[in-house]
Amino acid sequence: MIKESLVNALSDQVNTEYYSAYLYLSMSAYADRAGFKGVAHWLFVQAQEEIAHGTHLYRHILDRGAAPSFGDIKTPQSSFASIKDLFDKILAHERQVTERIHRIASLAQSEQDHATYAFISWYINEQVEEEAQAEELAARAARIGDNPGLLYNLDSALAARTFTDPFAGEGA
Ligand SMILES: [Fe+2]
Ligand SMILES: [Fe+2]
């Protein structure tokens, strides 16, 4: 039986993942309208991944025999200064998400909820990748500055991303 404290923490994380999707959609719209279609596409795929995370967490709560709770999704920022600003904000956001995941892991440990700990471990690893990816892109954007040729190269590279459901085959 899953404890209420963990149901609340996991439900809150569902909300955070959907907020992440909303934030990345907002960033995607900014990039699209600024003419960076590759960056916009990359962010759109990023948003799809966050929705997959949120849905996966939601499913886990139901699978444990509990009722997920729902709340308002925060309004994301909608104006940004530059492409570099986007990647800096992605990095800052993902670092916050990592802290939240670690708090859930610590709570699962203190409650001796091994099933939740095993479940959330996937997210601990995922956040290592999320931060590494955001750090790389933020550093790359910093090096590029306003160089139009290099910005174009980055935009083209990011256009190649494809969405793969991280939980394909697990059933929903
Ligand atoms: Fe996520
Ligand atoms: Fe993320």
**147 in a domain, yes or no?**
yes
pLDDT in tens, 51-64: 999 999 999 999 99
Cβ neighbors of 45 (< 8 A, separation 6 or more) are 161, 162, 163
**167 in a domain, yes or no?**
no
pLDDT in tens, 71-130: 999 999 999 999 999 999 999 999 999 999 999 999 999 999 999 999 999 999 999 999
**151 in a domain, yes or no?**
yes
**CATH number of the domain bearing residue 109:** 1.20.1260.10
**145 in a domain, yes or no?**
yes
**Rounded to the nearest whole angstrom, what is the distance from the C-alpha of residue 19 to the centroid of ligand 2?**
10
Instruction: Specify the pLDDT at position 1.
Output: 85
Query: Which residue segment(s) compose the domain that 128 sits in?
Result: 4-70+79-158
Residue 22: HSE in the Cβ half-sphere, 13 Å Cα cutoff: 14
Sign of CA dihedral 130, 133, 136, 140: negative
**138 in a domain, yes or no?**
yes
Separation between Cα atoms, residue 170 and residue 52, nearest integer Å:
12
**Rounded to the nearest whole angstrom, what is the distance from the C-alpha of residue 135 to the centroid of ligand 2?**
13
**95 in a domain, yes or no?**
yes
**153 in a domain, yes or no?**
yes
Instruction: Specify the pLDDT at position 169.
Output: 81
Instruction: Specify the pLDDT at position 59.
Output: 97
**Rounded to the nearest whole angstrom, what is the distance from the C-alpha of residue 149 to the centroid of ligand 1?**
31
**Rounded to the nearest whole angstrom, what is the distance from the C-alpha of residue 130 to the centroid of ligand 2?**
6
**Rounded to the nearest whole angstrom, what is the distance from the C-alpha of residue 3 to the centroid of ligand 1?**
23
Question: Two tokens at 98?
Answer: 């990592």
**163 in a domain, yes or no?**
no
Instruction: Specify the pLDDT at position 66.
Output: 98
| Closest alpha carbon to 87 in 127, 41, 133 | 133
**Rounded to the nearest whole angstrom, what is the distance from the C-alpha of residue 148 to the centroid of ligand 1?**
31
SS3 state at 112: coil
